[in-house]
Amino acid sequence: MTIPAFATTARLTWRQHRFELAMLVVLAAIIFAVEIATAGIEGWFVEHRCLADPKPADCLGMAGLYERLTEASGIAVVLATLMPPLIGLIVGVKLVGAEIERGTAALPWTVGTSRSRWLLVRVAILAGAIALTCSALSLAVDVVTASRDPGVDLANSLGDYQLRGWLPPARAVALFGVAVLVGAAMGRTLPALLVTLLLSAIGMYAIVNGFELLHRTEAVPLEMLLSPSSRDLYLDGRLRDRTTGAFVSYEEAYAIEPGDGEGFDARFELVTFGIPGSQSRLVVGRMVGFHLLLFVACTGLASLVVRRRRPY
Amino acid sequence: MSQLLPSVEPALEATGLVKQYRGGRTVALDGIDLGIVPGSITALVGPNGAGKSTLIKAWVGFERPTSGSVRVLGIDPWTDLAKAIGHLGYIPQASYLYRELTVVEHLDLAGSLRSSFDRPLASERLSHLRIPLSAEAGTLSSGQQTQVALAIALATRAPVLLLDEPLASLDPLARREFLHVLATTVRDLHQTVVMTSHVVTDIAQACDRVVVLNAGQKLLDEWIATAVARHQVGRAGARIKGRTIGSFPDVDGAQLTLFEDGETPTGDDAASGLRAATLEEVVLGYLAAGRLTMPAA
C-alpha cells in the first residue's frame, strides 16, 4: 500500500470511528490531567511535609483541593483501567461487524482486491490509536505512583503493575483484537459486543490466574530481598520448620506441634513468598508479550474469517 | 451456452452450478449452465427467489457453490478471489455506501483500495448527473446512491460488471438515465455486464441478451433480438402451429399463449390474434411454463 493510500485509509477510518476515538481521546485527556494535577499537588504536599498531623500553616489552604483531587484521582484510575479496553471492544466489534450488518463491507470487498489488506491496515491504525492513548494514561498513572511513593524505582517495582506501564495498552489492544475477531465472525454489532464482553471477562480471568500460577512456581522468599526502593509481588505465606529448614503446610505443622502457642511459634516461622520487584521487567514483559500474541492471533484469525465469509 | 460461438471464451461462466442452503432444504440454483458473451449486456430476469442474486454472488465470490463451478474470465473466484475481483465491478441489491462518508470520500476510498480506479471518470460522471460530491451518502436519494455505486463500478474499469437489481430503487426517469449511462459507457469501455432486474420493459432497450431463471433453473438464454423474432403470442385456444411455451394473462384478463416459431395454418393471423411477442411476453411465457413444470410451485 502506498503512503497516500495509507493516509486516505487513516483519514476515512477516523471519519468512520470518530465518535468512539474522540471519546477515547477526550477521556484520556481528562484522566491524564487529573492524574498529573494530583501528582503535582502530592509532590508539593510531600515536599512541604503536609501529610503530617497537624499540618503546617501553608498546607491548610491546599488541603481541601488535595482531598478533592485525591478522590478524583481514584475515580480517574478506575476509568483509566476500564474505559480504554471498553472503547477498544466497541471499536473492534464495529470494525467488521458493523460493516457486515450495514452491508457496507461489499464496497471494499469488491472494489479492493484484498480483504485481508483492507482489514489489517485498519486494525493497525486503530490498534495504534488505542495503544497510544492507553500508553499516555499509563504514563499518568506512573507519574501519580511516583509522586505517592517517591523512593520507589518504578522500573524495578511490581506495585500496581497491572495498572501502569506497558500492560494496560497491551491489554486494551488484545481486547480490541478479540473484538475484531468476534465482530467479523458474527457480523452483528450488539450480539458480538455482548459475546466479546463475556469472552473478555473469562479470558482476562484466565490470563490473570494463569500468570499467577506461573508466578507461584517462580516465587522466592521475599524477606531477604525486600528493598526500600522496590515493591515486590506478594503471593502467599508458607511455614518454615526452623529445625529442618523445610517448608510445611499448616496441617503438617499442627501435626508436628499441636496448638498454636509459643512452641508453635518457636518451631515455625511464616515466610512470605513472591516475585521480587527487580523481576518486574520479566514479569511485565512476559504478560505484555502474551497479550500482544493474543492480539496478533485474533487479528490473523479475523483475517481468515474475512477472506471467506459473506459480507452480509 | 448453445448460443455461444465455439471460439468465444465466455466472460462469465457457470457449469452445473448448484447452490443449496439449510442442508439442501432450500435450493437456490439447480444445475445452471451458462456462458456470458464478452461485450454483451445481459439481463438476468425472473421472479423473487429465482436465484438471480445468488448467481451474481457466486461470481463475485460471496457464495460458494454446493457443486459445479463458476468462472470470471476463466478464474474460479472461490480459489483465486483477488484475481477474480480484479476483473469485476459490482453493485449489490441494497446500497453499500457509507452513510457518514461523503461522495468524494467514497471515491477516495475506492482509489485507496484499487490502484487502477479511474477517479476522474467517476467524478466527471457524478458531476454530469449533478450529484453533489460533498454530500454525505446518507443524505442522497436512493436513485442518487445507485448512480454513485454505478460511477464507482464503472470507474474500476473492470472488464466485467455485475449489477444486482440496480433499477429497483429508481423512478422511471432515473431508470432510463441509468440504463443510458450504462449502455453508452459500457460500450465505450468494452465491458461485459450482467444485470438482474424485475423490470423487463426497460431492459429491452439497454440489454442485448436475456437469461430467464425460475426456481433456480434456467428457462431461456438468448439474444434479445432473436428471442423476440422467434416468439409470437396468440389468443389461448386459437389454432396456431409451433411449439407452445406457456400461457399467461394479458392486462385485459384475456389469456395469451407464447409460441416458438408460431404461425396460423390458414395464414389468418388476425383471427387467432397472432402477433410478434414483446420481450416482456417472452419472459412471461417462459416463467408461466416454468411454473407449470415446477412440482412444488
| Amino acid letter for position B130 | R
Summarize the confidence of residues B12-31 as an average pLDDT: 93
Q: State how many domains chain A has.
A: 2
Q: For residues B139 and B145, give the distance between their C-alpha atoms in angstroms, rounded to a whole number.
A: 9
Summarize the confidence of residues A134-146 as an average pLDDT: 83
Lowest mean pLDDT across A156-160, A166-170, A288-292, B57-61: A156-160
Domain residue ranges of chain B, discontinuous segments joined by +: 12-214, 226-293
Summarize the confidence of residues B212-219 as an average pLDDT: 93
Q: What is the pLDDT of residue A37?
A: 82
- pLDDT classification of A227: cutoffs 50, 70, 90: low
Q: What is the pLDDT of residue B295?
A: 42
Say if residue A192 is in the same domain as residue A285. yes
Which CATH number applies to B12-214?
Answer: 3.40.50.300
**Residue B2 pLDDT > 50, yes or no?**
no
Find chain B residues with C-beta within 8 A of A105's C-beta: 96
Say if residue A267 is in the same domain as residue A149. no
Find chain B residues with C-beta within 8 A of A3's C-beta: none
Say if residue A249 is in the same domain as residue A284. no
Say if residue A145 is in the same domain as residue A259. no
**Residue B199 pLDDT > 80, yes or no?**
no
Say if residue A266 is in the same domain as residue A299. no
Nearest to A302 by CA among A190, A125, A177: A177
Task: Express each pLDDT in A71-84 by its tens digit.
Answer: 887 888 788 778 87
Chain B residues with CB within 8 Å of chain A CB? 57, 60, 62-63, 81-83, 85-86, 88-90, 92, 94-101, 105-106, 108-115, 117, 152, 156
Which strands sit side by side in the sheet containing A247-248, from one edge to the other?
Answer: A220-221, A268-275, A233-241, A247-248
- One DSSP character per residue, A244-306 reads T--EE-HHHHHHHS-SSSHHHHHHEEEEEEEE-GGGHHHHHHHHHHHHHHHHHHHHHHHHHHH
Average pLDDT value for chain A: 87
In a domain, A196, yes or no: yes
Task: Express each pLDDT in B76-101 by its tens digit.
Answer: 999 999 999 999 999 999 889 999 99
Q: For residues A263 and B163, give the distance between their C-alpha atoms in angstroms, rounded to a whole number.
A: 90
Contact B152 A16 (CB under 8 A): no
Contact B92 A12 (CB under 8 A): no
Say if residue A80 is in the same domain as residue A156. yes
Interface test with B, best of A95, A104, A110 (most B CBs within 10 A): A110
Q: Smallest CA–CA separation between A310 and chain B, in Å? A: 5
Say if residue A7 is in the same domain as residue A131. yes
Alpha carbon of residue A216 to chain centroid: 20
Find chain B residues with C-beta within 8 A of A107's C-beta: 96-98, 106, 109-110, 152
Say if residue A43 is in the same domain as residue A86. yes
Find chain B residues with C-beta within 8 A of A307's C-beta: 81
Lowest mean pLDDT across A147-161, B16-30, B137-151: A147-161
Q: For residues A12 and B270, give the distance between their C-alpha atoms in angstroms, rounded to a whole number.
A: 65
Long-range contacts of A210-216 (CB under 8 A, 24+ apart): A211/A286, A211/A287, A211/A290, A215/A274, A215/A275, A215/A283, A216/A273
3-class SS of residue B266: coil
Q: What is the pLDDT of residue B293?
A: 53
In a domain, A76, yes or no: yes
Which strands sit side by side in the sheet containing B26-36, from one edge to the other?
Answer: B26-36, B12-21, B67-72
In a domain, A34, yes or no: yes
The three three-digit cell numbers of residue A251, written as one number: 496441617
The DSSP letter of residue B268 is: -
Say if residue A181 is in the same domain as residue A242. no
Q: What is the pLDDT of residue B161?
A: 95
Say if residue A163 is in the same domain as residue A185. yes
Summarize the confidence of residues A284-304 as an average pLDDT: 97
Lowest mean pLDDT across A298-307, B66-75, B180-189: B180-189
Q: Which residue has the higher pLDDT, A46 or A226?
A: A46
Q: What is the pLDDT of residue A80?
A: 77
Find chain A residues with C-beta within 8 A of B96's C-beta: 103-107
Q: How many residues does chain B have?
A: 297
- Segments forming the whole domain that contains residue A189: 3-206+279-308
In a domain, A129, yes or no: yes
Lowest mean pLDDT across A217-226, A254-263, B61-70: A217-226
Asked if A35 contacts A138 with a C-beta cutoff of 8 angstroms, the reply is no
In a domain, A103, yes or no: yes
Say if residue A38 is in the same domain as residue A96. yes
Report ipTM (2 d.p.): 0.87
How buried is residue B244: exposed, middle or buried, by Cβ count under 10 Å (0-12/13-18/19+)? middle
Whole-angstrom distance between the N-terminal and C-terminal Cα of chain A? Answer: 26
Q: What is the pLDDT of residue A62?
A: 75
Task: Express each pLDDT in A22-61 by its tens digit.
Answer: 888 888 888 888 888 887 877 777 777 777 777 777 777 7
Task: Express each pLDDT in B119-176 by its tens digit.
Answer: 999 999 999 889 999 999 999 998 899 999 999 999 999 999 999 999 888 888 888 8
Q: What is the pLDDT of residue B4?
A: 47
Say if residue A179 is in the same domain as residue A61. yes
Q: What is the pLDDT of residue B291?
A: 66
Beta bridge partners of B27: B20
Q: For residues A110 and A235, give the distance between their C-alpha atoms in angstroms, rounded to a whole number.
A: 54
Q: What is the pLDDT of residue B56?
A: 97
Alpha carbon of residue A164 to chain centroid: 7
Average pLDDT value for chain B: 88
- pLDDT classification of A224: cutoffs 50, 70, 90: low
In a domain, A185, yes or no: yes
Task: Express each pLDDT in B230-287 by its tens digit.
Answer: 999 988 777 788 889 999 998 888 889 999 987 776 666 667 788 899 999 999 999 9
Contact B100 A8 (CB under 8 A): no
